[in-house]
């Protein structure tokens, strides 16, 4: 009964199924191919491409085999089909095995895909972290640039402040290298050392400005031993030969390894202050001695007057006795000498009296004194070299007393030279200090250093007996003090111009004037 059933529907369904398998496998192959082209590096799409190719091969093999079988059987060619059937079956088996093998490999491919995906995700996260780090680095770089700019700005401001302090300071500020050569110095230091520009000073050894080499060695040793010195007084020589008293504070500079690379220092000019201090000390001493001298003079003057009066009376009584008269004349002479000394003492103690205040032209005073004294100077072959400034203003003072001072200084210069020499006279007006300076110098023997602090003391003199009482400079000092000034003695002179003129000693009269005194503007 079964053999009588018709098999045509089965063949038709089998044939259509085979064709559909071929069609669907080709469609899968087509899409797998497109996906592979779009993403050639995708492992999944590559796997699906080869799997689709295996399915196409299986579908074609099976579909063609079934189609050929139906056609041959329908034509009654069973013998031909039997001869090719084994080959068709073998090909189907091979393609089916290929599809099976590729199917078994799907789990491995999936594992590879998962691993690649995991690696891709890790790489993506790493890329995100890298981007975040890059963004943070960019912000840090921006902040760093801003910090550098702000720090640079602060450094510029700090340098500007330091440079302003360095350039504007009235004290000398300098820097030296380890060989004590000046590397930098401010304008006040250039002016203090007597130069015109910084370039003239840079490169010079600081040692050459010390007047006393032993003092320099002491400074150097102290700096090397202690690393600094503070408020130590030194006498520095300017380029014109004059000297300045300076208070120095110096500290060493070290590099990052602690090695000395140089030093930095500040110098304060105390020359003027020292002169004023010495003048005040001298003034106080003169004031004390003046009070003592006034008391002594008054006490001695009365008995001297009595002795002189009685001696003159006795001379009238002993006119016929030559020996007694000669003795009385000697008493009278010596008593008059004593009265003159007492008179000098009174002048010293009361130097401000006996003269009226009037308008003074100091150049005129000097010329008036020279008109009287120049002849006697020329007799001893002493010549006067005048350098009187025309810009000297008039001031209020005691003309007669100032003439007395000039006469005393000229007489002292005359005695210092004795014969053959030059007396130099200079006048100048310092607008900055608002003072007139009268300088009287001589080419004499000079003043020994050990007595320079004593020359203004009353009764101190280096002249022989009978040639002076030692009150001339003391009285002169008092007169100038009454005018608000002081007398400065320099032997040898500190300024090069006086040295070049041959002066061994200069006496400098400092006469300060007020604006109200300045009649010439």
Lowest mean pLDDT among 19-28, 264-273, 350-359: 350-359
Which of the pair, 287 or 474, is modelled with greater confidence?
A: 474
The reply to whether 360 and 458 lie within a common domain is: yes
- Residues 6+ positions from 106 with CB-CB distance below 8 Å: 47, 51
Q: For residue range 427-469, what is the model confidence (pLDDT) as tens digits? A: 999 888 889 999 999 998 888 877 767 676 655 555 544 444 4
| 267-284 average pLDDT score | 73
Instruction: Mark whether 458 and 359 lie in a shared domain.
Output: yes
* Mean pLDDT of all residues belonging to the chain: 78
Evaluate whether residue 480 is within a structural domain: yes
Residue 68 to residue 83: CA distance in whole angstroms:
12
Q: Which own/partner pairs from 514-519 qualify as long-range (CB within 8 Å, at least 24 positions apart)?
A: 514/395, 514/434, 515/434, 516/396, 517/393, 517/394, 517/395, 517/396, 518/393, 518/394, 518/395, 519/359, 519/393, 519/394, 519/395
Tokens of 6: 């018709």
Name the CA dihedral angle for 28, 30, 35, 41, rounded to a multiple of 10 degrees.
Answer: 100
- Specify the residue for token string 């996906």: 35
138 or 159, which is more confident? Answer: 138
DSSP string, 143-189: HHHHHHHHHHHHHHHHHHHHHHHHHH-SSEEEEEETT-BEEEE-HHH
Do residues 491 and 416 both lie within one domain?
yes
Last residue of a domain, one of 230, 254, 269: 269
Residue that is last in its domain, among 332, 350, 368: 350
Structural domain includes residue 159: no
Q: Is residue 1 part of a domain?
A: no
CB atoms closer than 10 angstroms to residue 279: 19
Residues 286 and 343 in one domain: yes
- pLDDT (0 to 100) of residue 215: 83
Cα gap 190→199, rounded to integer Å: 9
Query: Of 60, 82, 104, which marks where a domain is finished?
Result: 104
Assess whether 360 and 309 both reside in one domain.
Answer: no
- Residue 185's beta-bridge partner residues? 174
Based on the fold, state whether residues 478 and 377 are members of the same structural domain: yes
Is the same domain home to 229 and 328? no
Task: Note whether 20 and 89 are same-domain residues.
Answer: yes
Task: Give the lowest-confidence range in 117-121, 235-239, 290-294, 501-505.
Answer: 290-294
Domain membership of residue 314 as a residue range: 274-350
pLDDT tens per residue, range 221-257: 888 888 888 888 888 888 888 888 888 888 888 888 8
Enumerate helices (H) and strands (E) in the chain, giving the number of each: 13, 12
Confidence check: pLDDT of 274 > 50: yes
pLDDT digits (tens, 9 = 90+) for 315-349: 887 878 888 888 888 888 888 777 776 666 665 55
Cα–Cα–Cα angle for 134, 135, 137, rounded to 5 degrees:
60
User: Same domain, yes or no, for 97 and 240?
Assistant: no
Q: Which residue has the higher pLDDT, 150 or 466?
A: 150
The tally of domains found in the chain comes to 4
Alpha carbons 379 and 376: distance in angstroms, whole number: 5
Q: Is residue 463 one of the residues assigned to a domain?
A: yes
- The pTM score is 0.41
User: Same structural domain for residues 218 and 90?
Assistant: no
Rounded Cα–Cα distance for residues 513 and 409 (Å): 21
Residue 29 has pLDDT above 80, yes or no: no
User: Roughly what angle, to the nearest 10 degrees, separates helices 43-75 and 106-168?
Assistant: 160
Question: What's the pLDDT band for 106 if we cut at 50, 70, 90?
Answer: low
What sign for the dihedral angle of Cα 432, 435, 440, 446? negative
Same domain, 359 and 508: yes
Q: How far apart are CA 101 and CA 281, in angstroms?
A: 124
139: in domain: no
Alpha carbons 285 and 289: distance in angstroms, whole number: 6
């Amino acid at each position: 009964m079964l053999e009588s059933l018709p098999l045509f529907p089965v063949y038709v369904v089998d044939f259509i199924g085979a064709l559909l398998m071929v069609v669907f496998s080709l469609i899968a192959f087509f899409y797998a191919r497109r996906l592979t082209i779009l993403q050639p590096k995708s492992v999944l799409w590559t796997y699906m491409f080869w799997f689709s190719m295996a399915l196409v091969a299986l579908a074609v093999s099976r579909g063609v085999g079934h189609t050929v079988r139906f056609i041959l059987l329908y034509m009654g060619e069973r013998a031909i089909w039997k001869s090719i059937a084994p080959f068709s079956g073998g090909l189907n088996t091979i393609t089916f095995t290929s599809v099976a093998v590729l199917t078994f490999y799907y789990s491995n491919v999936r594992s590879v895909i998962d691993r690649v995906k995991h690696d891709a995700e890790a790489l993506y996260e790493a890329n995100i972290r890298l981007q975040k780090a890059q963004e943070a680095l960019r912000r840090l770089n921006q902040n760093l640039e801003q910090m550098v700019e702000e720090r640079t700005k602060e450094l510029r401001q700090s340098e500007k402040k330091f440079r302003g302090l360095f350039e504007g300071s009235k004290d000398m500020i300098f820097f030296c290298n380890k060989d004590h050569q000046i590397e930098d110095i401010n304008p006040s230091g250039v002016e203090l050392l007597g130069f015109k520009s910084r370039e003239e000073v840079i490169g010079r050894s600081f040692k050459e400005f010390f007047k006393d080499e032993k003092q320099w060695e002491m400074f150097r040793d102290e700096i090397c031993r202690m690393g600094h010195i503070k408020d130590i007084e030194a006498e520095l020589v300017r380029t014109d030969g004059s000297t300045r008293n300076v208070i120095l504070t110096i500290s060493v500079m070290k590099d990052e390894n602690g090695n000395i690379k140089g030093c930095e220092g500040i110098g304060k000019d105390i020359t003027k202050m020292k002169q004023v201090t010495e003048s005040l000390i001298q003034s106080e001493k003169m004031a004390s001695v003046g009070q003592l001298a006034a008391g002594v003079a008054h006490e001695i003057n009365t008995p001297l007057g009595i002795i002189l009066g009685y001696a003159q009376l006795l001379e009238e009584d002993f006119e016929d006795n030559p020996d007694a008269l000669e003795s009385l004349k000697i008493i009278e002479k010596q008593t008059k000498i004593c009265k003159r000394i007492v008179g000098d003492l009174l002048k010293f103690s009361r130097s401000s009296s006996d003269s009226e205040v009037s308008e003074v032209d100091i150049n005129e005073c000097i010329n008036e004194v020279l008109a009287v004294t120049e002849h006697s100077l020329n007799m001893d072959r002493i010549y006067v070299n005048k350098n009187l400034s025309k810009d000297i203003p008039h001031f209020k003072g005691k003309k007669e007393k100032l003439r007395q001072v000039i006469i005393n200084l000229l007489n002292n210069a005359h005695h210092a030279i004795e014969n053959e020499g030059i007396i130099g006279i200079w006048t100048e007006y310092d607008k900055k200090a608002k003072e007139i300076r009268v300088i009287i110098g001589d080419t004499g023997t000079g003043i020994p250093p050990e007595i320079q602090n004593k020359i203004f003391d009353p009764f101190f003199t280096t002249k022989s007996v009978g040639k002076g009482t030692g009150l001339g400079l003391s009285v002169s000092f008092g007169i100038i003090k009454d005018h608000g000034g002081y007398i400065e003695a320099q032997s040898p002179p500190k300024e090069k111009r006086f040295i070049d003129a041959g002066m061994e000693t200069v006496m400098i009269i400092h006469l300060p004037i007020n604006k109200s005194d300045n009649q010439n503007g």
